[in-house]
A and B are shown apart, each in its own frame.
Chain A
Amino acid sequence: MSFDLMLFDHFLIEKQAVSEVLLCNKITEDYALVLSEEQALELVETRSYSLKNFGRIEFGGGIIEKVILTFADTPYISQYRYAEFLNELVEIFYYFKNETLDLMSDDDLIGYMKKYFDGVCQGSLDQLKFRELERMAKNVRLGLDPDYNDLYDSEKLMEEEDDDE
């Protein structure tokens, strides 16, 4: 019997996680978003894969429920490709958890993801991942405000200069 963390029976962890994910359907039903048991299992597997890929470990349903519930009211998703969308979000979440050096709490990170996704990215996962969250992670690593954007600042500066003229 080994106590190496990676050798813990993942089946036990996943079984528990799937049932927690399925419980979220009760709330997301109101937004016409539902996951089947198979999709829930796939989502949990994606989580396991991402955790392994990014060298992390999580207990229980973890952030999947938070991601599902936070993104339930976004105008940019529908039942069609809902599961695929969640899979990508979960992967993005763990990637940026590492990129922000664990300096940001789960709620804050998901909150920023939602804010950018619904805001400047207008539903584009690529823009969210490769532009907004990259910038945010860099800001966090440098000890700046996560929202700080030197591009906007320089634009603002230019606008002010134009106004002065």
Chain B
Amino acid sequence: MNNNLKKQTKIDVNKLSGEFYFQSLLQEAYVKGALSPKESERIQLECLKLLADCTERFTKGKSSSVRVEIAQGIMASNLYTIGIYLKSLPDVDAALFHIENEPIEKLYEYGYQVLKRKINVANYFFNRVRKSKLKTANQAYNITIDQGFKPFFESYEINFHVHEIPSDIDYQLIHPVTDLAGVEFVIKYLESLYYENLFCSYFDADIIHEVMSGYDESYKNLLDNIGAQVFQNALGCQLLNVPLSPLDFSPADLNGLDKKLKSRHPAELQRQLEIAAWELITDLELTNPSLKKYLIASLPQITTTVHKGLASHALNKVFVPRYNPNIKPLVHYNMGIKMDDQAYRELVVEFLSCRFFDDKLAIIKEHIKTLADMEDLLIAGELESPEAAMIFDLLEDIELAVLTKRHPLHPAIDAIDYSASEIRLQQNLDAYMRALPRDRLAQILSMTTAIEVV
């Protein structure tokens, strides 16, 4: 007989904060009556005494007063240290028992010892992460591992600033670490990153590079997660019952996936992805239970992504076909020779002074002979979106493809790198492209990958 009797406790564990564990536990215990007002007053006084002692150590006994921000920092650090010890106890009742029966100073000392052990754990995971580091061009990933944790291991201050995280962590995880601080945050982050590395190590680094290039050619500058995309692609392959290692999809594969998943309800979709995930785990012979748990926990998020991809007919953004950026383009497009500067200046002045758009069109038809001049005029012409659209109508698909390649719209990344006129062209072009029939748009976009502008 499985005896799973659980001891009843007044305190709701779910209401406790991970970052401010001690404070939230005291608050919860006080509210629920598990801690008497007298006890709580004792704890406050003892915390105050501990703060006084720590402040004295902080000032090396040379100053009896400190600025409030400093005292608040020291207090937060002390409470964090105590919290870290209480978390190490088997359950909340044990934690409460210790709070009631041990002086706060003692709890702080125990916490301090736990803290030292935690730093060793962080070190252990950091070494594992470094050993399993993926060969990738993604800068956030590389910088986070190579340099991001240096400040932590070199200058983590466990006496007065233990709740702070002196590190430069840019790389985003599948499961972002929340509700933790200090060394606990670092451990959780490194542990998660290690599992992601471990999963990626089952695939070839060059293939992962191509998958990520398919996701976005400039992925090396992005803060997006690599492991999540690899897992998504692997799931797609698993759903198609094709070998996992290539992580690639042909248009026919994507159609197949679309048909297979299209009419599914989100709950059904998640169940199907879960089955595929377990098959994937078996096929890859993943043995690490924590890694399995980590991957399975990301399924709700992936289900939402797949569902959105299906709804917006953009499954190729979820199950990304591989793209090798090193393959030379098939078409070399020459933009043509630009007209004389003086003539161009006069043309622009005339163009801008036109009252009617028909006159502007006439100028374009009469004087613009190359795409290079057209591009300059589109930038300098101060055109409204409908006007620009009418000019784009004059262009052929390959010319639109060239313009799209040269002026992609990346408002978040490049906004500061371009002038207002260039951004206006990007926006006009983007609006025009969005209004095109899907087939034509797909054709133009596929051209952009095969063109090299000379």
Q: A residues engaging B (CB < 8 A)?
A: 1-3, 5-6, 8-9, 12-13, 51, 55-60, 62-63, 94, 97-98, 102, 105-107
B40 to A1, Cβ gap below 8 A? yes
Given contacts A56-B68, A57-B68, A59-B48, contact A5 B75 (CB under 8 A): yes
CB-defined interface of B40-60 with A at 8 Å, one 1/0 digit per residue? 110011011001100110010
A3 to B23, Cβ gap below 8 A? yes
B324 is an interface residue with CB less than 8 A from chain A:
no
> Which chain B residue shows the least CB distance to A54?
B67
Tell me how far the C-beta of A157 lies from the nearest C-beta in chain B, rounded to whole angstroms: 35
A102 contacts across to B, CB distance below 8 A: 59, 63, 66-67
Using A51-B65, A56-B68 as known contacts, list a sample of 8 further A-B pairs with CB atoms less than 8 Å apart, ordered by residue number in A: A1-B40, A55-B67, A56-B65, A57-B65, A57-B66, A58-B66, A63-B65, A102-B66
Tell me how far the C-beta of A68 lies from the nearest C-beta in chain B, rounded to whole angstroms: 14
Task: Determine which of B26, B27, B67 lies in contact with A56 in the assembled complex, contact meaning CB atoms within 8 Å.
Answer: B67
CB-defined interface of B51-93 with A at 8 Å, one 1/0 digit per residue? 1100110010011111111011001000100000000000000
B71 to A107, Cβ gap below 8 A? no
B51 to A59, Cβ gap below 8 A? yes
B67 contacts across to A, CB distance below 8 A: 55-57, 98, 102
> Which chain B residue shows the least CB distance to A63?
B64
Tell me how far the C-beta of B35 lies from the nearest C-beta in chain A, rounded to whole angstroms: 8
B30 is an interface residue with CB less than 8 A from chain A:
yes
Tell me how far the C-beta of A35 lies from the nearest C-beta in chain B, rounded to whole angstroms: 19
B40 to A106, Cβ gap below 8 A? no
- 10 A-B residue pairs with Cβ-Cβ distance under 8 Å, sorted by A, are A1-B27, A3-B23, A6-B68, A56-B67, A57-B67, A58-B66, A59-B51, A59-B52, A62-B64, A106-B65
B71 to A105, Cβ gap below 8 A? no
Q: What CA separation (Å) do A101 and B24 show in the bound complex?
A: 34
The main secondary structure of chain B at its interface with chain A is helix
Given contacts A59-B51, A60-B52, contact A5 B71 (CB under 8 A): yes
A1 contacts across to B, CB distance below 8 A: 26-27, 30, 40, 44
Task: Determine which of A2, A6, A12, A60 lies in contact with B64 in the assembled complex, contact meaning CB atoms within 8 Å.
Answer: A60
B64 to A59, Cβ gap below 8 A? yes
Given contacts A3-B75, A5-B71, A59-B55, contact A106 B62 (CB under 8 A): yes
> Which chain B residue shows the least CB distance to A5?
B72
> Which chain B residue shows the least CB distance to A105?
B62
> Which chain A residue shows the least CB distance to B72?
A5
Tell me how far the C-beta of B53 lies from the nearest C-beta in chain A, rounded to whole angstroms: 9
A57 to B40, Cβ gap below 8 A? no
A57 contacts across to B, CB distance below 8 A: 65-68, 71
Tell me how far the C-beta of B101 lies from the nearest C-beta in chain A, rounded to whole angstroms: 19
B48 contacts across to A, CB distance below 8 A: 8, 12-13, 59
A9 contacts across to B, CB distance below 8 A: 41, 44
A58 contacts across to B, CB distance below 8 A: 64-66
B79 contacts across to A, CB distance below 8 A: 3
Tell me how far the C-beta of A153 lies from the nearest C-beta in chain B, rounded to whole angstroms: 29
B65 contacts across to A, CB distance below 8 A: 51, 56-58, 62-63, 94, 97, 106
Tell me how far the C-beta of A141 lies from the nearest C-beta in chain B, rounded to whole angstroms: 16
Q: What CA separation (Å) do A5 and B23 show in the bound complex?
A: 13
A55 contacts across to B, CB distance below 8 A: 67-69
> Which chain B residue shows the least CB distance to A94?
B65
B71 contacts across to A, CB distance below 8 A: 5, 57
Tell me how far the C-beta of A114 lies from the nearest C-beta in chain B, rounded to whole angstroms: 17
Q: What CA separation (Å) do A57 and B51 show in the bound complex?
A: 11
B64 contacts across to A, CB distance below 8 A: 58-60, 62-63, 106
